DNA sequence: GTTAAGATTCCG
DNA sequence: GGAATCTTAACG
């Protein structure tokens, strides 16, 4: 008997370095505009942690763009990158602490831009609450995901210290 | 108002 | 290796 329960605030109101690996193996659930519901297993994420993290958008401080990261955990942060790709993030921690998890992979889909395309995420989902949305939420599973870590992708500008943090979390391929 | 650069992807 | 494509933030 598998219970698929929607994740609640207590899951997201923790440090991003705890939430990020815990999201591996969880189900990203999407009710598409036509009403069809699909569930995707989260397989790869990255953590962005506060104003001091030079790779985190919040290192620029509180702006209209980063304001959502300062809200309490459980909201969606979506932004457009390179003029063509929307990237999907989940905000973590209590109000006032700007952190977020970037969803880099689901099922066999690799790459955060492709994730948003498959799940049909765009800027209108920015600031949406995962607890109140009828379109997007995350469900718990009984999967205990094994994973390994690596450095985050595409943040050479963040300087040696931050760019070398092993804050990318990748679920191991399941072998039966 | 102008401009540089980006948590990327796809094509050649 | 480079283009595509546009928002944000920094600067004037």
- The whole model's pTM is what? 0.96
A24 touches A43 (CB < 8 A): yes
pLDDT for A36 equals 97
Q: A65-115, pLDDT tens digit by residue?
A: 999 999 999 999 999 999 999 999 999 999 999 999 999 999 999 999 999
Residue A142 dihedral angles phi and psi, to the nearest 5°: -100, 10
Residue A159 in this model has a pLDDT that exceeds 50: yes
Residue A21 in this model has a pLDDT that exceeds 90: yes
Determine the straight-line distance between the first and last CA of chain A, rounded to whole angstroms.
20
- What's the CATH architecture for A9-171? Roll (3.10)
State CA A51 to chain mean position distance. Answer: 18
Separation in Å: B1 C1' and A13 CA? 41
Other C-beta atoms lying within 10 Å of the C-beta of residue A146: 13
Does the CB of A94 fall within 7 Å of any strand B atom?
Answer: no
Q: How open is the CA angle A137-A142-A145, to the nearest 5 degrees?
A: 90
Q: Which sequence spans correspond to the domains of chain A? A: 9-171
Q: A116-145, pLDDT tens digit by residue?
A: 999 999 999 999 999 999 999 999 999 999
């Amino acid at each position: 008997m598998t219970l698929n329960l929607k994740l609640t605030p207590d899951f997201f109101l923790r440090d991003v370095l705890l939430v990020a690996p815990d999201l591996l193996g969880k189900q990203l659930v999407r009710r598409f505009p036509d009403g069809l519901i699909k569930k995707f297993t989260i397989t790869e994420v990255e953590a962005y942690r506060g104003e001091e993290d030079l790779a985190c958008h919040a290192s620029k401080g509180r702006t209209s763009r980063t304001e959502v990261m300062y809200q309490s955990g459980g909201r969606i942060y979506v932004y457009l990158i390179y003029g063509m790709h929307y990237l999907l993030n989940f905000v973590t921690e209590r109000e006032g602490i700007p952190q977020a998890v970037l969803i880099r992979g689901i099922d066999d889909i690799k790459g955060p831009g492709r994730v948003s395309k498959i799940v049909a995420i765009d800027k209108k989902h920015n600031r949406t609450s995962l607890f109140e949305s009828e379109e997007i939420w995350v469900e718990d599973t009984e999967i205990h995901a094994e994973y390994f870590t690596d450095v985050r992708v595409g943040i050479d500008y963040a300087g040696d210290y931050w760019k070398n943090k092993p804050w990318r979390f990748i679920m191991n391929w399941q072998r039966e």
